[in-house]
Amino acid sequence: GENVEQHPSTLSVQEGDSAVIKCTYSDSASNYFPWYKQELGKRPQLIIDIRSNVGEKKDQRIAVTLNKTAKHFSLHITETQPEDSAVYFCAATSYGGSQGNLIFGKGTKLSVKP
Amino acid sequence: KAGVTQTPRYLIKTRGQQVTLSCSPISGHRSVSWYQQTPGQGLQFLFEYFSETQRNKGNFPGRFSGRQFSNSRSEMNVSTLELGDSALYLCASSLERPGETQYFGPGTRLLVL
């Protein structure tokens, strides 16, 4: 089955710096890769996702890149702000199949210092 | 549209008891997935229901079970509770497949004493 590794487990940056979180997956059939942000005491919320037919996707300060050959994908946050502080989870699954389910990485706790 | 809702939000139980958690998906969503979230293990997949049938199952013991009703609402049940079952239980809904965008509910925090 699918296995998703996420690094680093904690990340501390200064406000305005960039943050990068990396994930690797094992199943070459996986083709859908969402990223969720979970603030303390709140539900995980989808912030961006990418499908395997594209290599990069951007949404304002957030971008995700995908390298299918190496089976890894990364979340990039530019110009970080204190409100970006949260736990970020990557996930992978096979979109379009009824048997697929999201397999999550163990999360990265991002702290943005003012 | 209203988001995914879960009840109750908090529960305290003792070992050996059983518990039932409820999840109402976004209107029109037919797939409901359940996850257990703990500090050490992150988000672990329990099971997924679609059209009142369990379609996928994670690696949890048979004490964890669930069902889905014709209106897509789902319940999960944990019998013979153990201390290690203390966790945040999250459900997520998607249109038809777990591989589509999933929207999470606020979770039910279960404490087993």
Q: How far apart, in whole angstroms, are the C-alpha atoms of residue A90 and residue A98?
A: 20
With a pLDDT cut of 70, the percent of chain A lying above it is 95
Nearest CA in chain B to A31: B99
- What is the average pLDDT across A65-89? 96
pLDDT, residue B40, reads 77
Q: How far apart, in whole angstroms, are the C-alpha atoms of residue B111 and residue B2?
A: 27
CA distances from A14 to A18, A35, A94, A111 (A): 8, 22, 36, 8
Nearest to B43 among A42, A100, A104 (CB): A104
Cβ–Cβ gap B97/A44 under 8 Å: no
Asked if residue B98 has a cis previous peptide bond (ω within 30° of 0), the answer is no
Checking if the pLDDT of A97 tops 60, the result is: no
Checking if the pLDDT of A96 tops 70, the result is: no
Q: Cα–Cα–Cα angle for B101, A58, A64, nearest 5°? A: 70
Which residues of B are less than 8 Å from A91 in CB distance? Answer: 43
- pLDDT tens for A84-93 read 999 999 999 8
Environment class of A18 (CB within 10 Å of its CB; exposed 0-12, middle 13-18, buried 19+): exposed
- What is the average pLDDT across A11-37? 95
- What is the average pLDDT across A18-23? 98
- How would residue A95 be classed by pLDDT, with cut points 50, 70 and 90? low
- pLDDT tens for B65-109 read 999 999 999 999 999 999 999 999 999 999 987 677 899 999 999
As a whole number, the mean pLDDT across chain B is 94
Asked if residue B61 has a cis previous peptide bond (ω within 30° of 0), the answer is no
B60 touches chain A (CB under 8 A): no
A105 touches chain B (CB under 8 A): yes
- How would residue A29 be classed by pLDDT, with cut points 50, 70 and 90? confident
Nearest to A101 among B41, B48, B90 (CB): B48
